[in-house]
Amino acid sequence: MKAIEKVISHARRHQDMLRFPASRVERMAAGCKTIDELRLKCPDLLKKARAVEIEAYKIKGYMRLVPFKTLLAGTYKSRHVISDLVGLHFKKRYPACSVITWNEARRDGCVSVPERSPHIAGIRDLIESLPFEGGFASDVLIRGGLYLFQLPPTTSFADEFLHRVIELLFPGDPAVAAYVHDKREFEAQWAAFYDTQVIESRVNYKRAIALMGKRQLLDQVGAGSIEAQRVLKKVPKGCKTLLDF
Amino acid sequence: MNSVLQKVSILGSSARYDICTSSSATISHRQCYRQYSSKKGFLGASLPAGCCHVYSADGRCVSLFKVLLTNSCSNDCFYCQNATSCQARSKKAAFTPAELANTFIQYYLRNYVEGLFLSSGITGDPGIVMGDMIETARLLREKYQFAGYIHMKVLPGSSLSDVRALAEYADRISLNMEAPSRVHLAEISSTKDFNSDLMTRLMWMHGVDSNRALPAGMTTQVIVGGNAATDHEILQNTCRMYSAFKLKRVYYSAFYPVKGSPLEHVDPAPLLREHRLYQADWLLRCYKFDKKDVLPPKGTNLPLDIDPKTSLAMRQFTSRFPVEVNDASLDELLHVPGIGPRSARRIIALRKKGMKIEKEASLRALGVVMKRALPFISINSARHARLDEWARHNKIEAHVQ
């Protein structure tokens, strides 16, 4: 039953399901006692739950954070309601830091603050009291040490909100400004490392073959091989090749 | 003097032939780095967050910060770009432990990497280089309070005390065997001794691992091609490694000639061969197939035009297939191409609930790859594809027996 509850909870977060009342998902899953029954009776529900899970997983990996002393901040884009999933991930990953994440597509954010932090008592009041041009930030809910919030539609997260929070947390600290300047240098360093890792594409063999240059492909697998013919689009549509195995 | 940017570029490039995917590292949510992960306030944890891969848009995997401590090396391995005999050796660079630990933490805090993979060339005494590697790990664990994933290489010729010290801090340690036997190692390296440099260290590592010191176990890496070793010998060695040393993984690396090295003019091994070895390895490790079914005949390689599981199914077609999905055991289902452990368990679980599979769509919904499974199964005694037609369609009729 726990697995079914997890599927239902994830499916509800899917952008298509947000239009319907929450009970609709339960009605779809009604009568399914095991996850395999659910898989057979409502494959769509499972697909939606899986899509949300995969999206959250990718964002956890792709998202880049900018450190301002002990505060980390980052933005992402998702049409699903996953701000608490992403927030919880980073709360566990960086238990000693405060983390602010912001979903640009849905305009909702999540703040996690470490236990015993001097910021914990006032962080909610701090965010709620910040006046912006379009109004005040509003809280959505507080769950498991996470503070979920939304901003007025006219307020910019990076230029206005984050700037104000940093100013309040670290007033007049030159080290914080230095972090922002370091960002460009850091990205150059990352690019230098990233370009050295090309050979790792072999982990995904199909992808590597598909991305390989034509000459290299012919050297590797031979011009007459079915893989080469497939990639060079000489195999009729629908015909199965070794890449399907 | 190299800047950190140059060092990252040079030493990252030098480490790119080491294979270190961490998919098998997340064995249990309770077995994360036990000494540190339970403490409050430590930075990160490999398992609650998941030591996941980060795939870039073009499919590259960059989950681990994979570098060498130094690329200076006194060994002479003919396949390696850092070897003394390589005429096109890259510029020399070396990290200090403090520099490397700080650089890594900056990457980790920005969520660019999930963990550290650290190897090194050997300049003179391996004990000194190992000492620096241990110091790097110590700084990460104790100074930066990093509780995430650390994979470190044990260097050939290192001492038992160094292996133990490394295991204190690392989640996973590994040692590159490079070849399945002494004879084949001699073909690609003039300085490494198979027994004293490699097997002895593997035995020590196994001793450390058997005391449950390593949450993510130990691994090794074998070069495919570049010497005369066949797939039969490589897989036989793999079986021995899994049974004798309880390795988590054996990685296979297709040989690619490095410019300026003594093996510069040797043909590269096809990536497809490496892929077939991984498929066979998977059958041995995860499907628990008998090794005599998986290994190719002595002195031969695995066929490249067909995957090992389909090849085995076609060889055993008359004795084992078709399998009736509503009656078959787990082992029988696992032998069907297109049915993996997960879908096989789902089929069994459904049967236990008294449900029957009636149509192809149900199997598809359970995760079975029907285009591969069809000729090998029957549903309620009805067969949906003939093997010879299916093989002709897929251009593998030569394997029909």
In chain A, what residues touch B270 (CB-CB under 8 Å)? 220-221
- The answer to whether the Cβ–Cβ distance between B49 and A74 falls below 8 Å is no
B230 burial type by CB count under 10 A (0-12 exposed, 13-18 middle, 19+ buried): middle
- The answer to whether the Cβ–Cβ distance between A36 and B61 falls below 8 Å is no
Over its length of 245 residues, how does chain A's per-residue pLDDT go in tens digits? 678 888 888 888 898 888 877 777 777 777 777 777 888 888 888 888 989 988 888 888 778 888 887 888 888 999 999 988 899 888 888 888 888 999 999 888 888 877 666 555 556 666 667 665 555 555 555 566 777 888 777 778 877 788 777 777 777 777 666 665 566 677 777 776 765 554 444 445 565 566 566 666 666 666 666 666 666 666 555 544 444 43
Residue of B nearest to A35 (CA): B346
In chain B, what residues touch A241 (CB-CB under 8 Å)? 394-395
CA nearest neighbour of A207 among B12, B174, B59: B59
pTM score, two decimals?
Answer: 0.77
pLDDT of residue B326: 92
- The answer to whether the Cβ–Cβ distance between B59 and A226 falls below 8 Å is no
Residue B376: both structure tokens together: 């090998």
pLDDT of residue A230: 63
In chain B, what residues touch A227 (CB-CB under 8 Å)? 272
- CA angle B335/B337/B340 to nearest 5° reads 75
Residues of chain B with pLDDT under 70: 1-2, 16-63, 88, 212, 401
pLDDT of residue A205: 58
CB-facing half-sphere around the CA of A15: CA atoms within 13 A? 8
Token look-up 């910060």 returns: B65
H or E element in which residue A94 lies: none
- The answer to whether the Cβ–Cβ distance between B42 and A95 falls below 8 Å is yes
The distance of A57 to chain B (nearest Cα, Å) reads: 9
C-beta separation of B253 from B224 below 8 A: yes
pLDDT of residue A117: 62
H or E element in which residue B323 lies: strand B323-324
CA distance B220 to B199: 11
pLDDT of residue A125: 67
- The answer to whether the Cβ–Cβ distance between B16 and A198 falls below 8 Å is yes
- For the sheet containing A71-76, what is the strand order? A66-68, A71-76, A98-103, A108-112, A146-150, A138-143
Strand partners, A111: A100, A147
- The answer to whether the Cβ–Cβ distance between A208 and B59 falls below 8 Å is yes
- The answer to whether the Cβ–Cβ distance between A92 and B111 falls below 8 Å is no
Overall residue count recorded for chain B in this entry = 401
Q: Say which residues have a Cβ less than 8 Å from residue B228's Cβ, sequence separation at least 6.
A: B184, B187
Neighbours of B217 (CB within 10 A): 20
In chain B, what residues touch A245 (CB-CB under 8 Å)? 306-307, 310, 337, 372
CA distance B369 to B383: 16
Q: Say which residues have a Cβ less than 8 Å from residue B105's Cβ, sequence separation at least 6.
A: B43, B140, B144, B146
CA distance A124 to A84: 16
CA distance B261 to B264: 5
- CB-CB: which of A36, A114, A201 is closest to B60? A201
A39 burial type by CB count under 10 A (0-12 exposed, 13-18 middle, 19+ buried): buried
- The answer to whether the Cβ–Cβ distance between A200 and B62 falls below 8 Å is yes
Residue of A nearest to B361 (CA): A40
CA distance B56 to B78: 32
CA distance B344 to B331: 9
Is A191 an interface residue toward B (CB < 8 Å)?
A: no
- The answer to whether the Cβ–Cβ distance between A193 and B8 falls below 8 Å is yes
- The answer to whether the Cβ–Cβ distance between A199 and B44 falls below 8 Å is no
pLDDT of residue B353: 83
- The answer to whether the Cβ–Cβ distance between A242 and B393 falls below 8 Å is no
- The answer to whether the Cβ–Cβ distance between A220 and B48 falls below 8 Å is no
Between β-strands B149-153 and B172-178, what pairing exists: parallel, antiparallel or unpaired?
A: parallel
Is A227 an interface residue toward B (CB < 8 Å)?
A: yes
C-beta separation of A123 from A165 below 8 A: no
In chain B, what residues touch A219 (CB-CB under 8 Å)? 268
CA distance B251 to B270: 16
CA distance B246 to B273: 25
Task: Give the phi and the psi of residue B274 in degrees, each rounded to 5.
Answer: -60, -40
CA nearest neighbour of A39 among B315, B368, B297: B368
CA distance B258 to B78: 9
- The answer to whether the Cβ–Cβ distance between A205 and B48 falls below 8 Å is no
- CB-CB: which of B107, B270, B305 is closest to A220? B270
Residue B301: both structure tokens together: 């390689």
The answer, yes or no, to whether the previous bond of B322 is cis (omega within 30 of 0) is yes
The distance of A196 to chain B (nearest Cα, Å) reads: 5
Helix (H, G, I), strand (E, B) or coil at A183: helix
C-beta separation of B237 from B269 below 8 A: no
C-beta separation of B80 from B114 below 8 A: no
Is A45 an interface residue toward B (CB < 8 Å)?
A: no
> Alpha helices of B227-375 — where are they, by DSSP H?
231-244, 271-285, 291-294, 308-315, 317-320, 330-334, 341-352, 360-365, 370-373
Neighbours of B35 (CB within 10 A): 12
Is A114 an interface residue toward B (CB < 8 Å)?
A: yes
CA distance B400 to B368: 22
Is A145 an interface residue toward B (CB < 8 Å)?
A: no
In chain B, what residues touch A61 (CB-CB under 8 Å)? 52-55, 63, 111, 114
- For the sheet containing B382-383, what is the strand order? B323-324, B377-379, B382-383
Helix (H, G, I), strand (E, B) or coil at B151: strand
Strand partners, A141: A148
- CB-CB: which of B43, B67, B362 is closest to A94? B43
- CB-CB: which of A95, A185, A193 is closest to B41? A95
Those of residues 56-85 in A touching chain B at CB distance below 8 A are 57-58, 60-67, 72, 74
CA distance A148 to A102: 10
Identify how many contiguous H helices and E strands chain A contains and give both numbers: 11, 8
Q: How far, CA to CA in Å, does B94 sit from each of A28, A144, A189, B91?
A: 60, 44, 16, 10
Between β-strands A108-112 and A98-103, what pairing exists: parallel, antiparallel or unpaired?
A: antiparallel
Overall residue count recorded for chain A in this entry = 245
Residue A225: both structure tokens together: 């091989």
